Structure 1
């Protein structure tokens, strides 16, 4: 029989509705009857005690809010009767122990990856085009059109066919394909544009330089073509310095072209095409060969979260993260606004006080910048989050943090810093989906696991994004964006551990090129740099 309520942690005084509840229902829960006083939609929270004004509301074993008015036992928690509240943090107060999961059956497993000269291993083989400044976006777009037409298999877009038929008064007109096969079978050519590199403040350009350097150094990139105008804030030498700081012995080809030194656009594009084509031809010769699972570096992301995310999809990612770490691989948890309320737990998981202090200082500085801009972490939940049961930032954060599992925090990175330690890392990014995934890729992850309860098509130009649904309804409604779903956990048909093992098997297939993610199939190539302090 399907359970109607779930108490996530023994100390919680609220429960999650697993199904829609109707006022007047009587639910036997933990050997006592709960009288439902008001309608409760699935994913929302119901009071297990009566709360007076100011009483603490506990979920996931942590403070997630306080009662703003009297909430009777059996009543629903809403924006009107609950206000955001989180625990104060006192620095690293203890060292949390960790029992690693048994990974014996995966120790000899490998994935087929692209080995780079610096020891990193890519799950993709990409030649990347990008500009140092927005003034070059048009030239990047022109190059994309040229290379896409000549190098990629041309697919008929059904929407293009629809429009053509409308233009022709309803007569069906089939688009003609210019090619039946890709010219290269072992290299992807990708393009990114952005609105930065000049204007704003100089720190914006320096931050962007670090991010772009991280993309070049990412193991999924075989080489890059970089366009510069010449007079912008993000000068070529700033980009080169950032790249040298990340990897002073970089062996990848990086072709840099400066328009103001090259004459006409036609002359510049001709040179870029000739030299880039030679580089792409060479990169296509790099084969996939076996690599240990310790070379996997996974980014942990959530977006379009719902009230089930924190009890199905996110804990699944958490256990998957622990499996990867136990195999000597790397996992990265970002989205600092969504760690509000669980800082103490994460500080205690840090391997030393220095890492804990860096984490807490980054959190405080971020929150201060948001407050100075007239907002606060309490404004983080989106309308979609709230509609599906995540009514305070602390409640959302406690569920979001479950993506990070239980392993020790070996390092804490600021935005733009590159991974240097295998194990579980924290990375300072916004909670915004694309800004966060963009940053994790710039720090070196080669796979992203992305949970969603509401549905989001987010992808990345150079790293596969595996989309994980928290519930079955979403997977059935939007099968074109979901790679794997965890609704069986809600129904009690599978455990978190079982789902995590299935997740690891899917990661190995994606990392080996045996399975393409839905985001890749949709050609979803999202890239948004973070302008610090103005985004949650």
Structure 2
């Protein structure tokens, strides 16, 4: 990477530079080009003259095709750059190379569960089977708060109502039903819940007895369930729910933090509100941290299938075998069909905020997003909310909508989230703590009360390796109980968003 006071060339094959700061028109750059336009911070400018219909290369990869001739020094963005046709060489497994393990492995202080998994938090969950039970679940949580129920249970971190907008008005079989079933079951088994109370209405499609009979939810000491219709209405359900929560809190309170190896960490990785710096600073720094976790025997999950589109070949080349690589491409094929039949397009990203931050095409955004995955081999590919059953770097299918994607990762077993952002993100994901990672110094200055890590200093000379180690060390502290900024502000009550697939009836 060639560094200058004004702009970066990220790869020898690139024909664009990335502005480190806003650059006035007429500025002569050390790369031998003079700017023809004002170049906003994080945006691209042409390194040399380019004809219409030619490819633009960034990160050493094609990010789009010019829609008009572009002169050297001109601003390269949505007005003169489009997607264009793209074809990738998947070369399954060609670049898969195991990372050397780190011995002795790092440790954190976590909650050991009977399942063998380890929680980073110890919450009580009130899980709902259907939207109709959402208000009642919140009423139970509010009643527990008014009664100061947790005052005598100091090892319990809080009560989390998990409410959503589905569970009925849907088919009782097929893709949509199976996805919600996996999601609810996954939350019921989350290592970050010390105990679970499940509440349903009683007549919904997603029946609680089905979850019980199929052994999706079990453990009589840590799980209770009831329906509003059977209990006799709202008031009776709240009253009984309060009693059940006391029993469950007493059980959850028995858990205390104890040493656990880093191999027990399952990290969900997200990026949202990205900018032109995300793929240069925050995402590759998180990739370094992901590799460190894998080397310690842990698991990291990359998701957002619609936001790896155009960069999937970088993952298939790292697949541990051809079958794993083909599973990823099957997901891409499914998404192309899914968006087409719903009159959408795979390249409808970047969002308006992403574009203001300098990202032009989904190819460009995806190349930056994939950097979160580091360099470890791709060990597995999973459906949304499917249980992760092996360590290492894996991929879980999901939309690019962050709350939905994190919901799937949590259901799949994530007990920690790392979230990079260049525009700013304010969200949290109870019961899982979320570390917010800023890609640029301006965001860090403006929203420091929401951001946990500043990756903007990479632009000032801090190495990706040092920043990745900083993120990994924070992951261990957070897993051991240190609060993130989003937790301290109380985020996490509205970010449970199951992926709704199929007809709403």
TM (norm. structure 2) is: 0.94
Q: How does 1:102-121 map to 2 (within 5 A)?
A: 103-104=102-103, 107-121=104-118
Deviation at 1:267, TM superposition (A): 2.4
Are the structure 2 counterparts of residues 207 and 252 from structure 1 closer, same or farther at C-alpha, using a change threshold of 3 Å?
farther
In 1, Cα distance between equivalents of 2:257 and 2:405: 28
Q: Does 1:460 align with 2:443?
A: no
1:388 alignment partner in structure 2: 357
Indicate the SS of the match to 1:35.
coil
In 2, Cα distance between equivalents of 1:226 and 1:430: 26
> Which of 277, 288, 291 is equivalent to 1:319?
288
2:206 alignment partner in structure 1: 234
Q: How does 1:292-371 map to 2 (within 5 A)?
A: 292-371=261-340
Deviation at 1:345, TM superposition (A): 1.6
- Give yes or no for contact 2:289–2:471 (8 Å, CA) kept in 1: yes
Indicate the SS of the match to 1:331.
strand
In 2, Cα distance between equivalents of 1:484 and 1:368: 38
In 1, Cα distance between equivalents of 2:34 and 2:165: 55
2:483 alignment partner in structure 1: 516
In 1, Cα distance between equivalents of 2:413 and 2:214: 14
Are the structure 2 counterparts of residues 110 and 370 from structure 1 closer, same or farther at C-alpha, using a change threshold of 3 Å?
same
Deviation at 1:430, TM superposition (A): 0.6
Indicate the SS of the match to 1:256.
strand
1:87 alignment partner in structure 2: 86
Q: Does 1:5 align with 2:7?
A: yes
Paired residue total = 496
2:77 alignment partner in structure 1: 78
In 1, Cα distance between equivalents of 2:340 and 2:36: 37
Deviation at 1:94, TM superposition (A): 4.5
Indicate the SS of the match to 2:269.
strand
In 2, Cα distance between equivalents of 1:321 and 1:376: 30
In 1, Cα distance between equivalents of 2:254 and 2:85: 53
Bigger drift between 200-209 and 364-373 goes to 200-209
Indicate the SS of the match to 1:349.
coil
Residues 40-59 of structure 1 deviation map (CA, whole Å, 9 limit, x = unaligned)? 01100111122211111111
> Which of 188, 193, 197 is equivalent to 2:163?
193
Residues 43-92 of structure 1 deviation map (CA, whole Å, 9 limit, x = unaligned)? 00111122211111111121110001101111111211000146323544
Q: How does 1:190-269 map to 2 (within 5 A)?
A: 190-202=160-172, 203=174, 204-240=176-212, 244=216, 253-269=222-238
Are the structure 2 counterparts of residues 238 and 481 from structure 1 closer, same or farther at C-alpha, using a change threshold of 3 Å?
same
Are the structure 2 counterparts of residues 251 and 227 from structure 1 closer, same or farther at C-alpha, using a change threshold of 3 Å?
closer
- Give yes or no for contact 1:198–1:205 (8 Å, CA) kept in 2: no
- Give yes or no for contact 1:118–1:250 (8 Å, CA) kept in 2: no
What 5-or-longer segments of structure 1 have no aligned partner?
154-181
RMSD: 1.9
Deviation at 1:252, TM superposition (A): 5.8
Q: Does 1:417 align with 2:389?
A: no
2:466 alignment partner in structure 1: 498
1:148 alignment partner in structure 2: 145
1:47 alignment partner in structure 2: 46
In 1, Cα distance between equivalents of 2:240 and 2:212: 21
Residues 484-520 of structure 1 deviation map (CA, whole Å, 9 limit, x = unaligned)? 111110122x10000011111111111011x200111
Are the structure 2 counterparts of residues 86 and 350 from structure 1 closer, same or farther at C-alpha, using a change threshold of 3 Å?
farther
What 5-or-longer segments of structure 2 have no aligned partner?
none
